């Protein structure tokens, strides 16, 4: 993409071909590197151990307009936002464009149980799944997550569920990848039909971008073979930057080729003795037990008991093993 096209994208929120612009994946390098890399050349992409895993055929280099990128992707230039801080503090000033050729798969931590898009699509084909609903998460499961996943599985057109936790680069205060995957393995193995659910991690940097991140994450799951995508309240949100239901509304603006399944805030109702939403529960808020992950982490850090109404005992056991949260 040339720099003029980039400016059209950031100002209009759309690619030149009319498709929605969500959150671009950018390779940005420092000044000392930029002097050594030229258009028309091939450059190596290194993993965290400094070993080549892919090459980039450089078709263009261009100055990275950081303020426009932050505002366009995340709706703010406030560096208290973790991804915005990344743009200003960790991205270089020169961006590279071109085709990437993968030479080998990345060596991921043993916690990861990761499949490529080709592998998930082949697995779905072998299982006879024509319609697959994907679930994005970055936290251990609670019963509200389980509720909307299983409601989605109840749909007549849905054949199977792909649960795909992001366990790449997360922010301070998020759960550790080992905790997320261990908790999900126990729940999926113990409470889901073996032939209707797949758990596979996704080792990418988490985008806390609210509505645009919801579109980005939906497109990623489409690439893995999903036809439907679960969108809960405040998906990919952080702090007070986004309206909690903007992630629902953006799918009315843009068709990214995947069916959004939108769910309101889910809670445990003491009177109903079940998970519910405002659509199904007639009782007041005094009967509702919220499933806030922030509250869960606070209870965990204070050494208090975790509510069994919204956490499976297997998940509580994982969370109590200690050192569950990134610091």
Q: Helix H segments across the chain?
A: 3-12, 31-34, 66-74, 82-89, 117-127, 143-154, 177-191, 210-223, 246-253, 293-301, 313-319
Specify the residue for token string 């629902």: 248
Q: One of 51, 125, 131, 138 is an active-site residue; which one? A: 138
Rounded Cα gap, residues 204 and 73, in angstroms: 17
Q: Which residues are bridge partners to 268 per DSSP?
A: 275, 289
Write out the two tokens for 47.
């993993």
Rounded Cα gap, residues 33 and 70, in angstroms: 23
Q: One of 139, 186, 221, 312 is an active-site residue; which one? A: 139
Residue 49 annotated as catalytic: no
Residue 138 annotated as catalytic: yes
**DSSP per position, 71-103:** HHHHS---TTSHHHHHHHHTS-SEEEEEEEEE-
Rounded Cα gap, residues 200 and 89, in angstroms: 31
Active site members: 138-139
């Amino acid at each position: 993409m040339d720099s003029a096209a980039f400016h059209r994208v950031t100002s209009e929120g759309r690619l030149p071909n009319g498709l929605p612009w969500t959150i671009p994946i950018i390779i940005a390098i420092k000044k000392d590197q930029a002097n050594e890399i030229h258009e028309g050349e091939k450059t190596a992409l290194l993993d965290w151990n400094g070993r080549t895993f892919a090459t980039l055929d450089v078709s263009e280099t261009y100055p990275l307009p950081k303020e426009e990128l932050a505002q366009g992707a995340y709706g703010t230039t406030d560096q208290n936002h973790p991804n915005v801080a990344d743009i200003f503090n960790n991205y270089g000033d020169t961006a590279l464009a071109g085709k990437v050729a993968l030479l080998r798969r990345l060596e991921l931590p043993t916690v990861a149980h990761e499949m490529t898009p080709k592998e998930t699509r082949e697995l779905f084909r072998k299982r006879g799944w024509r319609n697959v609903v994907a679930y994005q998460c970055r936290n251990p499961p609670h019963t509200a997550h389980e509720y909307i996943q299983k409601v989605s599985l109840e749909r007549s057109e849905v054949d199977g569920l792909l649960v795909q936790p992001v366990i790449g680069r997360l922010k301070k205060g998020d759960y550790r990848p080992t905790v997320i995957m261990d908790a999900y393995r126990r729940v999926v193995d113990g409470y889901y039909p073996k032939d209707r659910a797949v758990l596979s991690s996704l080792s990418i940097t988490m985008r806390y971008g609210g509505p645009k991140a919801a579109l980005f994450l939906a497109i990623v799951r489409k690439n893995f073979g999903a036809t439907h995508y679960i969108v809960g309240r405040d998906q990919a949100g952080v702090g007070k930057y986004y309206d909690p239901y903007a992630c629902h509304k953006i799918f009315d603006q843009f068709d990214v080729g995947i069916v959004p399944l939108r769910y309101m805030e889910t809670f445990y109702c003491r009177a109903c003795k079940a998970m519910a939403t405002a659509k199904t529960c007639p009782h007041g808020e005094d009967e509702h037990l919220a499933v806030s992950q922030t509250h869960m982490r606070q209870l965990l850090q204070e050494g208090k008991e975790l509510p069994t109404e919204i956490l499976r005992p297997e998940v509580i056991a994982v969370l109590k093993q200690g050192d569950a949260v990134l610091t």
